[in-house]
Structure 1
Amino acid sequence: MIELAVFDMAGTTIDEHGAVYDALRHAVETTGVAVDPVDLQTWMGTDKREAIDALVRLGGGAPDAELVERQYETFRAYLRESYAKQPPEPIAHADKALEELRARGIKVALTTGFSADVALPLLESLGWSTGEGGNLDAVVTSDEVPRGRPAPYMIQRAMEKTGTVDVRRVLVAGDTVVDLEAGFNAGAGVVVGVLTGQLTREQLELHPHTYVLDGVADLPGIAETQADD
């Protein structure tokens, strides 16, 4: 039986209209290097400072800590402007899916490659929160753990926050390859790819997974099939 569902934020539960993709590309390209779209997609879903460092190196640059921090601020500024012009909103039926899972006694956690200073205002803008009256049991940001995805640490931190002991009773869902890899690395009982991000079914199915679904709206049905396992 699934006890905890761990979801990615942008592209999985939240539609931010591609702003993260554009902001990350902008943050890297303003250092003077070119960004290969394949590399950019590979690093989506990871900690954004790690992504900037890796993408600048892949483009032939030699980033140091100061440059990475400066470009992270560029990333944040671009994202703020994008969100002001076109506010993020829940992926279709995502809020209903989270509500249904919690009504069944399944705890819900969100994990993200954003640090808390980006993630928490984003959730607040949607009216999503933890605590009494909130629709979430935990939120884990990239700055809470030693490494972001594909390391399993954010999933393990979500387990810690929700008091979940058995990782086989954890469902992990996300729209990127590193979401799937993190779920696999954590040993999650169910690892789900969703098609609401930039990747196709064929691209996601190349990587370890239990299911590839159209979106999180389909997840309550999957959780139901695990009820007697």
Structure 2
Amino acid sequence: MTYQPPTRLQAAILDWAGTVVDFGSFAPTRIFVEAFASFDLALTLEEARGPMGVGKWAHIRALCDEPAVAERFQRRFGRAPTDDDVTLLYERFMPLQLEKVGEHSALIPGALEAIAALRERGLKIGSCSGYPRAVMNKVQALASAAGYQPDHVVASDEVPRGRPSPAQALANVIALRLDDVAACVKVDDTAPGLLEGRHAGMWTVALRFSGNTLGLSWERYQALARSERAAHRQRIDGELASCRPHYLIDTIAELPPIIDAINARLARGETPSAG
């Protein structure tokens, strides 16, 4: 048998918060701030956004490893934060997340139309998230009621290793019975999610404005002047450059033409590893 590279995309693997739902990715970040506050530990929204994209326990561990946060913990408790402390914070985070995730789970404008356009092109829709299954169940139900039903969902606690490992993306490949990772595109707003796609051997598309890198609500984003958007594009493109995304776009609404561009590259014999 001879290897034949794919000539068209078979699937898009979409992130959730900041990609399809929750413009600005506020649901997890604000709850991190509240969870830390319940232990009398200050945490800014900007600090909470830092490790976004990884699983939530790992996110809290990364926050506790930040020098400024570790120093606050040391002052408050007289010692460095341990994994047991991270687990206590996580156990406080989870019920808050389950209670309040619905407040920030509206579909991102243009998402339904873009996903419909992908399906018209014959793509299956996979998905994965930094949320654990308990939270994903609630997010999925809300999204379904709003009209979004992906073909498969992989939560962060359903694989041995979370992002930037390729495990969640590859679990979608298996579940959707896809022929080749080169026939998949991973769409995400965070560095760990983009690296997940790269590590899985997929095409990758970075979203600049709907997620964590900009961190603004839809209303505040809409109010930005053209010059402000241009400045943010330049900054965000620089921040994500080390992830080597194949494409960068503002929001998922701009995804369908990118699918056409990738299909054209596949038809020419190009693969994601070459880009």
Which bracket does the TM-score occupy, shorter chain normalised?
Answer: 0.7 to 0.9
Partner deviation per Cα, 1:140-178 (whole Å, 9 max, x = no partner) = 001111111111100000101101131111101111111
Residue in structure 2 matching 1:94, options 96, 111, 133: 111
Matched with 1:71 is: 89
Secondary structure, aligned partner of 1:98: helix
Is the Cα–Cα contact under 8 Å of residues 180 and 191 in structure 1 kept in the other structure? yes
Partner deviation per Cα, 1:94-136 (whole Å, 9 max, x = no partner) = 122112212221111110011110012111012169xxx9731
Residue in structure 2 matching 1:217, options 229, 249, 253: 253
Is the Cα–Cα contact under 8 Å of residues 14 and 89 in structure 1 kept in the other structure? yes
- Structure 1: segments with no counterpart, 5+ residues: none
Matched with 1:111 is: 128
Q: Considering only aligned residues, what root-mean-square deviation do their CA atoms show, in Å?
A: 2.4
The 5 Å alignment of 1:1-229 reads 1-15=8-22, 18-33=26-41, 35=43, 40-58=48-66, 59-60=69-70, 61-65=80-84, 67-83=85-101, 86-127=103-144, 135-188=149-202, 190-195=203-208, 196-199=210-213, 200-228=236-264, 229=266
> How far is 1:37 from its partner?
6.3
- Structure 2: segments with no counterpart, 5+ residues: 1-7, 71-79, 214-235, 267-275
Give the stretch that moved more between structures: 95-104 or 72-81.
Answer: 72-81
- Give the number of the structure whose alpha-carbon radius of gyration is greater: 2
Secondary structure, aligned partner of 2:109: coil
Check 1:128–1:88 CA distance in 2 against 1; reply closer, same or farther (3 A cut): same
Letter in 2 for 1:107: K
Is the Cα–Cα contact under 8 Å of residues 12 and 216 in structure 1 kept in the other structure? yes
Partner deviation per Cα, 1:41-61 (whole Å, 9 max, x = no partner) = 331111001111222233323
The size of the alignment, in residue pairs, is: 223
Secondary structure, aligned partner of 2:125: strand
Q: Structure 2-normalised TM-score?
A: 0.73
> How far is 1:64 from its partner?
2.6
- Which one has a larger percent strand, Structure 1 or Structure 2? 1
Q: Structure 1-normalised TM-score?
A: 0.86
Q: Take 1:38 and 1:102, find their aligned partners in 2: how far apart are those partners?
A: 36
Letter in 1 for 2:100: S
